[in-house]
Amino acid sequence: MQSYLPWFTPSYNGVEPRVRDLMYHTSGLAFGTIEHVRSGNSDSAEKIVRSLVNDSLVFEPGTAFSYATLNYTVLALIIEEVTQKSFATLIRSEILEPLDLNKTWIPDGTAAPQTKSDGHKLRYGQAARVEAPLHIGHAPAGYIHSNLSDMRLWAEAILTAAKKPASELDTAFAQSLKPNMSVAPSPTYGSFYGTGWFVFNTWGTEYYHAGANPTFSSCIDIKPDNDTVIVVLANLNSNLVAESCRSILFYLETGNFGHSSEFFKTIDRYAMGLSALALVVVFVTLALCLYRCFCIFKEKRISTRIGVLKSGFSLALWVGLATGLALVLPSMLFYMLPLSVLFEWGPLSLAPTIILLWCAAALAALFRFLGTWQSTTLR
């Protein structure tokens, strides 16, 4: 890979990833590298990849499968370096135009089509419209926008490639369907991975992939044996959308419905309950704090210096602890991802819930601190 990007030299025990490792997600890049995709829509692929320079690989390249979306960004940059053309330009000329996918759009700095749907995120039980960033440099990993008519054409191209490739493009597609069986299958799906497809053999050969960004989600499932194609697109980030294609196929094959739980909806429900609880604590403790302040000034309550110091230390300790938990605990609960990633990808209710919980803890500590002042009649 150094021959393409001399300045990008990640390694594990001296072993550097190859281009094929990027394609098969065996490069050793960690899932958490998604944090390098910052909010905004102007970062180039090079800027994103350069931010990876100091990251360590989590395993020796070529020895394991671990899905990391930044693999695609590095691949896109290599393609741009080799061809001296932008990724968006190449995809349009080499794939979209030959397949007549004229309703598919790649962020490239130009205005989005007026027909593009608005993205949404959950916020306290409701889907709220969000102007999410388009991430030009990270477009290869989940920011290419399409519709059902174009997805039908895309699925037909994959079916042709899987059965009897007739063109150079078909042959390239067929190559992407071949799973890498030199490493253990995906721990999530239990299937091997091609270059862009999870390959199952539960009910005959099946090619599946889900896609998501902070405000959209999708899935596609193709079963060439009986020309079955399932495509689901949604303008809401939901793991149910990602799972729906295989759930539908499961029903078609067995006549039974599988079981799925809405990960983001579950987070939103917990956030709703915790926010309600925190609001009650905030209002009650705020009222009690104001009452204590009123009593201190009206009754001219006093406190010893040592009492103030002890309570002040306790206040600082509890506020510091609350701040630390607010900054660290969410990351510990969600794959050690930083707050910036959780706020961008998670429900809109996540950030205000954390703030409300911090306020509740801080006000409770303040209430205890104000208890240091006692009425002179008690002395």
Pair 60, 28: CB distance under 8 Å: yes
Pair 180, 65: CB distance under 8 Å: yes
Site of tokens 């300790």: 317
Select the more confidently predicted residue: 39 or 324. 324
| Residue ranges in 143-200 assigned as alpha helix (H) | 148-163, 168-176
Pair 352, 274: CB distance under 8 Å: no
Confidence of residue 373 (pLDDT cuts 50, 70, 90): confident
Site of tokens 């990027």: 22
pLDDT of residue 39: 60
The strand ranges marked E within the chain are 119-123, 126-130, 192-193, 198-200, 206-213, 216-223, 228-234
Select the more confidently predicted residue: 100 or 131. 100
pLDDT surpassing 80 at residue 261: no
pLDDT of residue 378: 43
**pLDDT digits 0-9 by tens, 294-316:** 888 877 767 677 767 877 888 88
- As beta bridge partners, residue 15 has 12
Confidence of residue 243 (pLDDT cuts 50, 70, 90): confident
Separation of alpha carbons 24 and 6, rounded Å: 21
How far is the CA of 67 from the CAs of 104, 181, 372, in angstroms?
25, 15, 54
pLDDT of residue 379: 44
Separation of alpha carbons 315 and 309, rounded Å: 10
pLDDT of residue 374: 66
Pair 130, 121: CB distance under 8 Å: yes
Q: How many C-alpha atoms does 249 have within 13 Å on its Cβ side?
A: 27
pLDDT of residue 220: 95
Pair 117, 89: CB distance under 8 Å: no
pLDDT of residue 60: 96
pLDDT surpassing 50 at residue 352: yes
pLDDT of residue 126: 93
Give the DSSP per-residue string, 26-58. Answer: -S---GGGGGGS-SSS---HHHHHHTTTTPPPS
**pLDDT digits 0-9 by tens, 154-189:** 999 999 999 988 899 999 999 999 999 999 999 888
Separation of alpha carbons 158 and 235, rounded Å: 24
Strand 119-123 and strand 126-130: the pairing is antiparallel
Q: What is residue 73's three-state secondary structure?
A: helix
Beta carbons within 10 angstroms of residue 292's beta carbon: 18
**pTM of the predicted protein model:** 0.85
Q: Which CATH number fits domain 1-111+130-142: 3.30.70.3040, 3.40.50.300, 3.30.1490.20, 3.40.710.10?
A: 3.40.710.10
pLDDT of residue 40: 56
**pLDDT digits 0-9 by tens, 66-99:** 999 999 999 999 999 999 999 999 999 999 999 9
- For residue 147, which of 112, 178, 187, 102 has the smallest C-alpha distance? 102
Separation of alpha carbons 219 and 247, rounded Å: 11
Whole-number percent of the chain with pLDDT over 90: 57
Beta carbons within 10 angstroms of residue 262's beta carbon: 15
Select the more confidently predicted residue: 103 or 298. 103
Separation of alpha carbons 56 and 11, rounded Å: 7
CATH code linked to domain 146-260: 3.40.710.10
Phi and psi (nearest 5°) for 193? -120, 130
pLDDT surpassing 80 at residue 375: no
Site of tokens 């990640």: 10
Separation of alpha carbons 271 and 123, rounded Å: 9
Average pLDDT, the chain: 89
**pLDDT digits 0-9 by tens, 272-292:** 999 999 999 999 999 999 998
**Cα 265 from chain centre:** 15
Select the more confidently predicted residue: 333 or 349. 349
